[in-house]
């Protein structure tokens, strides 16, 4: 029968001189290597029963094949045509780019990542900024942007949905009763995420100062590794590059990341009337192992609620 021949070894010269005639015949018929068969006979000799037992185990070889690719091998690069190769340039990845690539792939391999979306009417926040940006800058010597308000809104929502600020450690969930908010900043060298430590203890002015400082130093490559460590939640803003919608990737071991996007005027229905409003899509990517869909959707709705009515941040409701 064909099945017993599955564990056959490649045809190589094998010494069978010390085997009994019956055992030798079985080994040669099935192209087995005696050295790979456990021997139970007197003095460690291979018996007929040992060989028959090996023949009856056709699953042994496939099992090794299944467990071998625990880590997916890199796909081989197709050799380009000579005319194409002459127009290519091979550049070694920077250490920062290697770290970014490794962490992003680690997030996808580890977390059960899912993304939920919502949209926010930016009218109230844009009016607030337009009304007070000059006075704000004159008084505090820092610009009033949108990110500071989003950081404050996120912190309030994290207080209400602590799982979004938590992380998994083995079989434990670690709830963070502090709020270290990472703010993704694009630089010519790659994306960096400096962390505003204890942002929950900061005012809007202090938050804007921290964001401004990180933004300037990040572009000059002056952010230290310690300033990028210890985050509990991250905010990214693809809107500054014109992104309408995206699914941000988690920054492990964090369990949530908020993606902001481009503000664009769109027709929406308010009180049964079609009106034009400046709208922004929001995306929350989260680790479904620790955050349920209800929590994720409610968290994002809470952020939306506070951004659409920034007065809520002043009175804490």
**Residues noted as catalytic:** 288, 292
Q: In 3-state terms, what secondary structure has residue 23?
A: helix
Query: Can you name the residues that pair with 116 across neighbouring β-strands?
Result: 284
Please give the structure tokens belonging to residue 13. 């010269």
The whole-angstrom separation of Cα 207 and Cα 145 is 10
Q: Which helix (H) or strand (E) holds 85?
A: helix 82-85
User: How many C-alpha atoms does 162 have within 13 Å on its Cβ side?
Assistant: 6
Question: How far, in Å, are 38, 47, 53 from residue 34 at the CA level?
Answer: 8, 10, 12
The 3 state secondary structure assigned to 192-211 is ECCEECCHHHCCHHHHHHHH
Question: How far, in Å, are 63, 172, 203, 309 from residue 155 at the CA level?
Answer: 49, 23, 12, 15
The 3 state secondary structure assigned to 93-156 is CCHHHHHHHHHHHHHHHHCCEEEEEEEEECHHHHHHHHHHHHHHHHHHCCCCCCHHHHHHHHHH
Q: Are 177 and 184 in contact (CB under 8 A)?
A: no
The whole-angstrom separation of Cα 100 and Cα 236 is 15
């Amino acid at each position: 029968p064909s099945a017993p021949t599955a564990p056959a070894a490649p045809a190589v010269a094998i010494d069978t001189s010390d085997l009994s005639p019956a055992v030798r015949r079985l080994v040669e018929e099935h192209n087995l290597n005696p050295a790979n068969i456990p021997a139970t006979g007197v003095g460690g000799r291979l018996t007929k029963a040992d060989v028959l037992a090996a023949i009856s185990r056709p699953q042994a070889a496939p099992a090794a094949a299944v467990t071998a690719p625990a880590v997916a091998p890199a796909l081989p690069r197709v050799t380009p045509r000579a005319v194409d190769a002459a127009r290519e340039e091979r550049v070694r990845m920077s250490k920062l780019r290697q770290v970014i690539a490794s962490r992003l792939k680690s997030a996808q391999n580890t977390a059960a990542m899912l993304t939920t979306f919502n949209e926010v009417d930016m009218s109230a926040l844009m009016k607030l900024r337009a009304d007070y940006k000059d006075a704000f800058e004159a008084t505090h010597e820092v610009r009033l942007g949108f990110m500071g308000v989003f950081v404050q809104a996120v912190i309030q929502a994290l207080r209400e949905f602590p799982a979004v600020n938590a992380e998994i450690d083995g079989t434990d969930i670690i709830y963070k009763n502090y709020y270290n908010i990472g703010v993704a900043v694009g630089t010519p060298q790659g994306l960096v995420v400096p962390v505003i430590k204890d942002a929950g203890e900061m005012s809007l002015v202090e938050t804007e100062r921290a964001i401004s400082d990180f933004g300037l130093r990040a572009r000059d490559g002056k952010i230290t590794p310690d300033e990028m460590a210890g985050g509990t939640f991250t905010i990214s803003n693809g809107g500054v590059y014109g992104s309408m919608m995206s699914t941000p990737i988690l920054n492990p071991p964090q369990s949530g990341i908020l993606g902001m996007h481009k503000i664009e005027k769109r027709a929406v229905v308010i009180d049964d009337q079609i009106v034009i409003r400046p709208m922004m899509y929001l995306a929350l990517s989260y680790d479904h192992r620790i955050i349920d869909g209800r929590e994720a959707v409610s968290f994002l709705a809470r952020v939306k609620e506070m951004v659409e009515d920034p007065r809520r941040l002043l009175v804490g409701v």
